[in-house]
Structure 1
Amino acid sequence: MVEHLLPVLFAVALWWGSTGLILRLDRLPRATFRWTMLGATALMMAGMAGLWWTAGQRTLAAVYLGVVSAILVWGWIEIAFLTGFITGPRRAPCPAGARGLDRLRAAIAVILWHELAILGVAAIVALLTLDAPNPYGGIAFLALAAMRLSAKLNLFLGVRNFGEAMLPEHLRYLETYFARRRMNALFPFSVLGGTAACVGLVATAAAPGSDMVTATAHTLLASLIALGVLEHAFMVLPIPPEALYRRLLPARPVAFPDDLHVPSCGVVPRAAVPKPHGSRP
């Protein structure tokens, strides 16, 4: 029981706590961002060292430390983007009326440097961990990157909730690249893929021949992916994803591109989204 329950609680606390801390730091005055980025870079380097060291240690402590190290590295990715240090060559709203390939090219331009940074860091993490006795920290990082990529694609293709309250003011132009729909064709495959990965990991963790390290590591990974699937679910549920972090976010009304007087691109006003049968107005 310990090898299953403890990793689940650990993953939830680590996920919620690290996300909440990043959101809180990103709402400090912009003059503090250089110090936030400096601290994040120091922690990222510590995370890389942790991934390298734990990769050769197949112990319970190394499994937990490896996942924590992956979160430290991933935190640098998130902070670099949310503070605006690493985004893309374009820092403006989507051109009015852009559709198809024009909209896709514009959307890629606003996050291009960030995506390249993820690829570069992921390559380093893979080299440090994947061909090692304890690859679980590296797998955790790659799982986070895959879930984040899926989330970005779904936001671009269209979902009910953007989680726009979690965007800092200096990145509000990103909302104009999102499409508001009840669901898109990719979304079911994103959820099914994440769920299938969770089922496979849980099956390995619960297999009779699994030792404590294997069971703990696979439960940790399954928990992280399950939390990513939950984030996806909030995109289409009538509950905003920022509800998870309500106490950490400053109160502000949800604004849409027309409210901000910027051109919109693929955005459908909330009032135009069909409501599920029986829902309140």
Structure 2
Amino acid sequence: MLSFVVPALYALFVWWLGTGIILYLDGLPQRTYRWSLTGAAAALVAGVYGLVLTCTGLSLAHVYCGFTCGVLIWGTLEMSYFMGLVSGPRKAPCPPGCGPWKRFALAVGTSLYHEVSVVVTGVILIALCWDQPNQVGVWTYSVLWIMRWSAKLNVFFGVPNLHTDWLPEHLRFLQTYMGQRHMNYLFPVSVTLGTVGVILLVGRALDTDIAPFSDTSYVLTATLLALAVLEHWFLVLPLPDEALWSWAFQRRADTGAARTPVCPACAQDRPRVLISLRGI
């Protein structure tokens, strides 16, 4: 039982702590970003180096280290976007009256360079760890990559809880590209496929014919994917998920922040908006 509980709790802790650290640093004054990004650059190098070292190992320490490195690499990329280092060519709100295709094209322009960096980093990690026995770091990065894209598409197509107040001040214009609806057609596909993935990974972890090394790898990945599915549900259910990182938001609560209206063309069937933002 401990072989399942311990890695699940570890994945939960890393997800919670990593999200909180990023949100806290994003909420600091922009003059601190250079120091945060310097630390993030060092963390990125350490994460890639650690991933390369651990992908050849078969011990539990190698598994946990590989998982942690995968989260670390992803977190540094997220910081580079939220702190404005790597974003996109467009840094302006969506013009009024845009159709869905034009709004989508403009929205892609707000994060194009970042998305390219995510793809390039993913390809590099896959190449570095190709045909190695420990793939948990690559799996971790891939889960965060795919589910992040899924969450962004769901927010674009429209969800009840846009979680906009967790955006840093300089990214508030992104609210104008978001849709606000009770539901969109992509959401059930996202949560269904994500849930099926969790079930398959747990099934592999329960396979008695595989080694403890593999058990832990599957449990870590399944837990992270389950948390990503949960984050999707936070987009539609009225749950106070911001309470999970209240310590990271204390400074923002003290200073307050202005809001940018959601794109009027997309504000259909407006429900109450839950204030939060997906962290990893």
TM-score (norm 1): 0.91
- Post-superposition offset of 1:165: 2.0
- Post-superposition offset of 1:246: 2.6
C-alpha separation in 2, matches of 1:31 and 1:57: 41
- Post-superposition offset of 1:240: 4.9
- Over residues 13-56 of structure 1, what are the superposed CA-to-partner deviations in whole Å (9 max), with x where a residue is unaligned? 00000110011011111111011111101000000001111111
C-alpha separation in 2, matches of 1:29 and 1:212: 45
Query: In structure 2, what is the equivalent of residue 90 of structure 1?
Result: 90
Which structure's relative contact order is higher, taking Cα pairs within 8 Å and 6+ residues apart?
Answer: 2
Query: In structure 2, what is the equivalent of residue 36 of structure 1?
Result: 36
Query: In structure 1, what is the equivalent of residue 19 of structure 2?
Result: 19
Q: Which amino acid counterpart does residue 206 of structure 2 have in structure 1?
A: A
Query: In structure 2, what is the equivalent of residue 257 of structure 1?
Result: 260
- Over residues 119-174 of structure 1, what are the superposed CA-to-partner deviations in whole Å (9 max), with x where a residue is unaligned? 01001111122421101111110111001000110010000111112111110000
Q: Secondary structure at the match of 1:236?
A: coil
- Post-superposition offset of 1:105: 1.0
Contact kept in structure 2, 1:140 and 1:221, CA below 8 Å: yes
Aligned pair in 2 of structure 1 residues 240, 174: CA closer, same or farther (>3 Å)?
Answer: farther
Query: In structure 1, what is the equivalent of residue 111 of structure 2?
Result: 111
Aligned pair in 2 of structure 1 residues 255, 239: CA closer, same or farther (>3 Å)?
Answer: farther
Query: In structure 1, what is the equivalent of residue 270 of structure 2?
Result: 272
Contact kept in structure 2, 1:60 and 1:216, CA below 8 Å: yes
TM-score (norm 2): 0.92
Q: Which amino acid counterpart does residue 199 of structure 2 have in structure 1?
A: V
Residues matched between the structures, number: 270
- Post-superposition offset of 1:268: 1.5
Q: Which amino acid counterpart does residue 3 of structure 1 have in structure 2?
A: S
Contact kept in structure 1, 2:161 and 2:272, CA below 8 Å: no
Contact kept in structure 2, 1:163 and 1:240, CA below 8 Å: no
Contact kept in structure 2, 1:161 and 1:240, CA below 8 Å: no
Aligned pair in 2 of structure 1 residues 219, 266: CA closer, same or farther (>3 Å)?
Answer: farther
Contact kept in structure 2, 1:136 and 1:217, CA below 8 Å: yes
Tell me the percent identity: 40
- Over residues 166-192 of structure 1, what are the superposed CA-to-partner deviations in whole Å (9 max), with x where a residue is unaligned? 111110000110000111000001001
Query: In structure 1, what is the equivalent of residue 216 of structure 2?
Result: 216
> Structure 2: 5+ residue runs without aligned partners?
274-280
Q: Secondary structure at the match of 2:97?
A: coil
C-alpha separation in 2, matches of 1:167 and 1:199: 32
Contact kept in structure 1, 2:182 and 2:270, CA below 8 Å: no
Query: In structure 2, what is the equivalent of residue 235 of structure 1?
Result: 235
Query: In structure 1, what is the equivalent of residue 160 of structure 2?
Result: 160
Aligned pair in 2 of structure 1 residues 148, 255: CA closer, same or farther (>3 Å)?
Answer: same
C-alpha separation in 2, matches of 1:43 and 1:205: 30
- Post-superposition offset of 1:76: 1.1
Contact kept in structure 1, 2:165 and 2:259, CA below 8 Å: no
Aligned pair in 2 of structure 1 residues 202, 169: CA closer, same or farther (>3 Å)?
Answer: same
Q: Which amino acid counterpart does residue 244 of structure 1 have in structure 2?
A: L
> Structure 1: 5+ residue runs without aligned partners?
276-281
C-alpha separation in 2, matches of 1:19 and 1:169: 18
Say which is worse superposed, 242-251 or 59-68, in terms of deviation: 242-251
Q: Secondary structure at the match of 1:84?
A: coil
- Post-superposition offset of 1:257: 3.1
Aligned pair in 2 of structure 1 residues 61, 192: CA closer, same or farther (>3 Å)?
Answer: same
Q: Which amino acid counterpart does residue 10 of structure 2 have in structure 1?
A: F
Aligned pair in 2 of structure 1 residues 188, 256: CA closer, same or farther (>3 Å)?
Answer: farther
C-alpha separation in 2, matches of 1:46 and 1:116: 21
- Over residues 218-254 of structure 1, what are the superposed CA-to-partner deviations in whole Å (9 max), with x where a residue is unaligned? 0000000000001000000012543332332122778
Q: Which amino acid counterpart does residue 257 of structure 1 have in structure 2?
A: T
